[in-house]
Copies of this chain bind each other. A is one copy, B any other.
Amino acid sequence: MISDVIREKAEIVNREIERILTVNEPEGLYRATRHYLKAGGKRLRPVITLIAAEALGRDSRKVLHAGIAIETIHNFTLIHDDIMDEDEMRRGVKTVHTLYGIPTAILAGDTLYAEAFEILAKSDAEPSNVVRAVSKLARVCVEICEGQYMDMSFEERNDVSESEYIEMVRKKTGVLIGISASIPAILFGESREVEEALWNYGIYSGIGFQIHDDLLDITGKDKIGKDWGSDIVEGKKTLIVIKAFEQGVELETFGKGKASREELERDIRKLVDCGAVDYARNKAREYIELAKSQLDVLDDTPAKSHLLELADYLIERDY
């Protein structure tokens, strides 16, 4: 089962995170900085990095730090995004700014940001490849910011198109999974063809992953560790909502800040009935198939099978 593979690799990641991302002085800052890291999470990104290294026939231990650097960046974006979105819950725990205040939460994110580059720079690889990896991770971070900005600015617009949504998601979610999959190719100096195949595998997987995440927000009920239906009441332009709006569907709780369970259920019924939920589900599947087809350039190995299964898993998980 791929979920067992993920769990086993996540354990390796967790042990190393615990070893290198310690609580230093000033303690108040580091407690905030480590808050989400300690709250768990599936470690999907570093797990992808480890499996991708194996799929290249390489020693995955040599990319463990690169994977953790990426997970660290992911955690920084969660902290800052939660401030921007004013979210109160994440992974079943209170958000960092809710617990520690906005100034400390900003600094906690900033601290992780730097630690990520410090960890990546320690990678056991050819220095010229490490420089390329740093450069690529930095570019990815710029694009994540652009994606998050697009996501926020979409809230003020009612004419967001599907292709704008895909571009936003590619930047906000895709590129970090893209680098998770391709950073072993960069660090081991593989051909550009292989690097690009893994990059695209990650990008398309990430888009499918995000569409599925949007679906979970309205179908996942209580398993997801944050408020159910929060995307709708916050007025997020998800693919589901974009499709529904195209058909003239009106949602009474959309962007209202809060709603009763009954009101939300009525709106969600409308999203299902107009076919928008099915449309999004099919799109997610399409992107995952596209992701998997990228891996044709790799030799058939157990690790390659894991990457294929993992892509499917991204849109099958219910949390």
Instruction: Mark each residue of chain A from 99 to 118: 1 if its CB lies under 8 Å from any CB of chain B, else 0.
Output: 00011101101110111111
B residues in contact with A113, CB < 8 Å: 110, 113, 141
Copies of this chain, complex-wide, total 2
A127 at interface by CB-CB < 8 Å: yes
Are B131 and A29 within 8 A (Cβ)? no
Main secondary structure of the interface of A (DSSP, over half): helix
Residue of B nearest to A143 (CB): B114
A268 at interface by CB-CB < 8 Å: no
A84 with B107, Cβ < 8 A, contacts A131-B121, A134-B117 known: yes
Are B145 and A114 within 8 A (Cβ)? yes
Are A149 and B104 within 8 A (Cβ)? yes
A3 at interface by CB-CB < 8 Å: no
Are A138 and B118 within 8 A (Cβ)? yes
Instruction: Mark each residue of chain A from 107 to 151: 1 if its CB lies under 8 Å from any CB of chain B, else 0.
Output: 101110111111001100011101110110111111001101110
Q: How far apart are the CA atoms of A135 and B26 in the complex, in Å?
A: 21
B residues in contact with A84, CB < 8 Å: 102-103, 106-107
Instruction: Mark each residue of chain A from 35 to 47: 1 if its CB lies under 8 Å from any CB of chain B, else 0.
Output: 0000000000000
Q: Which residues of chain A from 204 to 236 have any CB-CB distance to chain B below 8 Å in the complex? A: none
Number of interface residues of A (CB under 8 A): 45
A83 at interface by CB-CB < 8 Å: yes
B residues in contact with A24, CB < 8 Å: 146
Residue of B nearest to A126 (CB): B127
A259 at interface by CB-CB < 8 Å: no
A80 at interface by CB-CB < 8 Å: yes
A225 → B minimal CB distance (Å): 23
Are B130 and A115 within 8 A (Cβ)? no
Q: How far apart are the CA atoms of A111 and B171 in the complex, in Å?
A: 13
Q: How far apart are the CA atoms of A174 and B41 in the complex, in Å?
A: 37
A247 at interface by CB-CB < 8 Å: no
Are B26 and A150 within 8 A (Cβ)? yes
B residues in contact with A153, CB < 8 Å: 26, 28
Are A107 and B145 within 8 A (Cβ)? yes
Are B131 and A118 within 8 A (Cβ)? no
Q: How far apart are the CA atoms of A25 and B150 in the complex, in Å?
A: 10
Given contacts A26-B146, A117-B138, 13 further A-B contacts (CB under 8 A): A25-B146, A26-B150, A29-B146, A84-B102, A111-B145, A114-B140, A117-B117, A117-B135, A117-B141, A118-B139, A121-B132, A127-B131, A131-B134
A-B CB contact pairs (8 Å), 11 listed: A25-B146, A84-B106, A84-B107, A102-B102, A110-B145, A113-B141, A114-B140, A116-B138, A121-B135, A121-B138, A122-B135
* Interface residue ranges, A against B (CB under 8 Å): 24-26, 28-29, 80, 83-84, 102-104, 106-107, 109-111, 113-118, 121-122, 126-128, 130-132, 134-135, 137-142, 145-146, 148-150, 152-153
